[in-house]
Amino acid sequence: MSQIDDVIDQLNGLGSWAQWGVGIIATLLTLIIVRLLMKKVILDIVKKTAFDWDDKLYSPVTKRVYLFILFAGTNLTMKWVLGEGDSLVDSFNPFFMATYIFLSTSLTSVVLRTLIPVIMDRYSDPSSVTVSGSNSLIIFIFRAAVWFGGLYLALSELGIELFGVLASLAVFSLIIGLAMQQTLGNIVNSFMLALDQPFEVGDRIEVEGKIGSVVSVGILSTKILTHEENLVVIPNNSLVNSTVINHARGGGDGVGRRISLVQDIGVGYDEDISHVKYTVLKLMRECPYVISKPEPRVLLIELGDFAKVFRMYGWVEDYSDEFVARDWLLKNVDEQFSTEGIEIPFPTSVEISGKQSPAFNKSHKTASIRKARLQMVKEDKQLSKERAAAKEEIESINEKLEDPDLDKKTRNLLEEDLRELNSLLSMFEAGGDD
């Protein structure tokens, strides 16, 4: 201890410039040591963890720690060289205290911005939709409260009363608020959208007859891009007060870009039902854009005035492929119907020659009908088994979900399975029973 005391006495005996140099060198050495510690130890630990939040926190926390060391080193050196009672030290003390408070507030705000979404995801439905480009309302409220408290304390150290400043600006704020009523309404409604979470960037939505993909969710407006490459700017006020149809939330199992493809097609009353259903079903299974799960289906939904109307049900993996999938199906249905001799009827007011396609002959059609009937018997049996199995599975899952001791992870998995099964059944029920 005596050696340490001797070193301290020697440092205290140095001239003021030498003491400034020692203080600066000590500050830089501390900065270098902390930097090496952050790079070689903390960063290695962060990289080894499976979490994303620590990677996001590393850079902002590191920068603020470095700034804190620089300001603290300067403050301590000034007190050491000039002494505690010096007027210059006393005048700079409030500035340093305000700086420490500001850095602490900034660090707390960054931690809240990073960790609150992690906590919310931990206790929310894994298939829920988030609004890209916007903080949720709860994050905004927490960060605003932290910043308000931090600024109040920092300004108090500098001798500025925050509430007094706000009171002096009250009249001016009232005038600005009245002049910017619509703008402020858009800002508030942007947070309402963030809280309600009706869509995310990339979803295809429909608002007041306008259909397009969401390209941005801003503080004042939401922008969608239509199929004609037109950019539609919708004020958030109008969006909140309108009915929004989100075409990208098909499937009901959290698959955001999947969309149902439904297409009606009519055939003549002379056509065999099994022949038509099997021909269309086979084409849907061959379509490169229609996914196999849930399986595509073809159901007879109407006996119209001039035609038997069949409805094709299928799912397209990405809603950007909806139109090319529909084009592929209609083109191939038309060609295959011509080959199979299946008639797509004209309105009764149109005269037709009665001549059949050159590719059609009665023997071929008779064989196709016989084959289609046999195949559709198998398809109907398989469909009945799948529906019965799905209903049994739904009942089983509902019984398991009634268990109060079920852990959250297992409950989420069961609920996801339940949504997928209900989605499968809803496609069948939409067209009625066979």
> What string of H, E and C letters represents the secondary structure of 325-350?
HHHHHHHHHHHHHHHHCCCCCCCCCC
Cis peptide leading into 358, omega within 30 of 0?
no
The amino acid sitting at 160 is I
What does residue 315 show for φ and ψ, rounded to 5 degrees? -125, 135
* DSSP structure class, residue 250: T
Distance separating alpha carbons of residues 362 and 161, to the nearest angstrom: 95
Q: What pLDDT was estimated at residue 309?
A: 92
The amino acid sitting at 339 is T
Matching CATH topology for 182-246 and 259-429? no
This model's pTM is above 0.85: no
For the chain, the farthest-separated pair of C-alpha atoms sits apart, in whole angstroms, at 119
Distance separating alpha carbons of residues 83 and 353, to the nearest angstrom: 111
Where do the structural domains in the chain lie, given as residue ranges?
A: 2-173, 182-246, 259-429
Q: Please give the distance of CA 84 from its chain centroid, rounded to a whole number.
A: 55
Six token digits for residue 256? 């955001």
The answer for residues whose C-beta is within 8 angstroms of residue 65's C-beta and 6 or more apart is 34, 38
CATH fold for domain 259-429: Alpha-Beta Plaits (3.30.70)
Q: Which CATH number fits domain 182-246: 2.30.30.60, 2.60.300.12, 3.20.20.140, 3.40.50.300?
A: 2.30.30.60
For residues 170-200, one letter each, b for 16 or more C-beta atoms within 10 angstroms of the residue's C-beta and e for the rest, the string is: eeeeeeeeeeeeeeeebeebbbebbeeebbb
Q: Which candidate, 194, 202, 179, places its Cα nearest to that of 240? A: 194
pLDDT in tens, the chain (434 residues): 566 666 666 666 677 788 788 888 888 898 889 888 888 888 888 888 877 777 888 888 888 888 898 888 888 888 877 777 777 777 888 888 888 888 888 888 888 888 877 776 666 544 444 444 444 567 777 888 888 888 888 888 877 776 666 565 555 565 555 555 666 677 777 777 776 778 877 777 888 888 888 888 877 888 888 877 788 888 888 888 888 888 766 544 445 567 778 889 999 888 888 888 988 998 999 998 888 877 888 889 888 888 899 999 888 887 778 888 898 999 999 988 888 888 888 765 555 555 555 545 566 667 677 666 667 667 667 767 777 777 788 888 887 777 777 777 777 777 777 766 666 665 545 444 43
